[in-house]
Structure 1
Amino acid sequence: MLRHQLAGALVVIGLWALLTYPGLVNPFVLPTPTAVLDAVVRGLTEGSLGDHVLRTSGTFVVCFALAVLLGIALGATPGLVPSVHRSVEPLISLALSVPIVTYFAFLVVLLGYGFWSVLALGVVTATPTMITSTVTAFQEVDAALLRVGAVYTASRPARFLRIVLPGSLATLSGGVRIAAGRALIGVIVGEMFLSSEGLGAQIVNASGFFDIPAYYAVVVALAVISYVVAVVFGAVENRTAAYVT
């Protein structure tokens, strides 16, 4: 699989080089690979690209952790009690469908311009996905096992830890993977519009100053972070599915 991914990346870079080095594409629109690589190196060694990478990565980790905890906590009761699920299902659907930009003005008024608004946007973006995954995962737990636990007078915490949680791990891990992607999107969009720091803000700055190589350097950094997130949580999902089966 890794060979295929590397081959795909090499094909993209090769096409990029074929379009840019002969001058078939205006360098103002798409610089050469070496120009972008030079911008990445300068940003890491002389500029602040590394600091912004750490800022975005740290914010993402916090947002993701909070979204997973909130999603499981808020989705547990609807997932285990059908009547509660029927009552809150419209609210969950609404939260999933609301565009991210809807939250901008509210967050700025409530938390101000900067880190806390970005953090809140990342959490708000990812939590509904985690709630939905939790509800679905808990509903898929074998009801017969729950009845057996009740017959043997197992306490509710014991049933949750020994029956519900192991039986829902496969679906939960899929929800965690999707929530990670959503949290990263929320952080980047938040940095673009609600902050002056982070990779999202640097995209806005570079495009505003028409510094195209720097713009693509930030895009490359974001692509690397996105790839790492996808690979890590994809591996977690696969390992969990293999463990459950």
Structure 2
Amino acid sequence: MNKIWLTGVAVALSLALPSNAWASSVADVLRGFQPSRLMDQSVETEPQQFWWLKSAVKRIGSDYVADNEERLEVQRLRWELYEISSNHSEAAIYERIMETWKAEGYEETFSCRAVSCGSSQHWAVHVFGIPMLYGLNRNQFYSTGKVDGNIRVLYVVRRGTQTNYVYWLEASQQLSSDVIPDRLRAGAAIRATDYEPDVWLDILDRHPEWSLMLVGHDYSSSLGQARAAGQAAADQVRDRWTSAGVAGDRVNVDSVGYLAPNDANPQARVKVILPPQYR
């Protein structure tokens, strides 16, 4: 199943994630709306670009645009698609899921319903890439926001056949800490501040032969300013690490200023790299 808003390689569904991650509260909710069945699902653990829509989609000429959208690199992503009997109201399904998510700490960024969302065909075909979600414009609901730093998306729609469909997605910009060492060995550069210092301390404890490199990035107007700002940001991260117990000889600091791709995020940041001799 191709989806326009995702690029990257999907991995087999049998790949396991940590047991405390990706708990599907939607599946729990839908046990109260029988008969229902899981139609499709995917767990993806390769970095990929994610199109985060925070407004309705509009068609302008041959293009589909949103007033508020963001292109992000995410590290993990999971989605599920359910079919729900016409015995239930799509509004009741949506509201029950929203109640559960908000109890989990979900903070909504944007929502729409019915014709205020625009065309259901646009959402189904040009956003999700799942034609099965093409339903009635007056019977659709969309919500997106965050919980525990992870992006969530929910789309509920009723088709002309009166069958209901529920699509939900959760995307994380963070790697599971369990896979960080493998990504570092593969040459990945991981944002230092995505994880608390004790995570990095634990990784270094588990790999006593390693030292890590903190590389500062900044996008000030001149190279000299950018390198100085990047150095300051990397020094600040190193200080936090050493305060948490990381030995000073286990971490080195450098800065490249703006001499590296900015990942569409022109802000100072610090990446962690495993030097080649340890890979």
The reply to whether TM is greater than 0.5 is no
TM-score when normalising by structure 2: 0.24
Give the number of the structure whose residues are more often strand, by fraction: 2
Give the number of the structure whose residues are more often helix, by fraction: 1
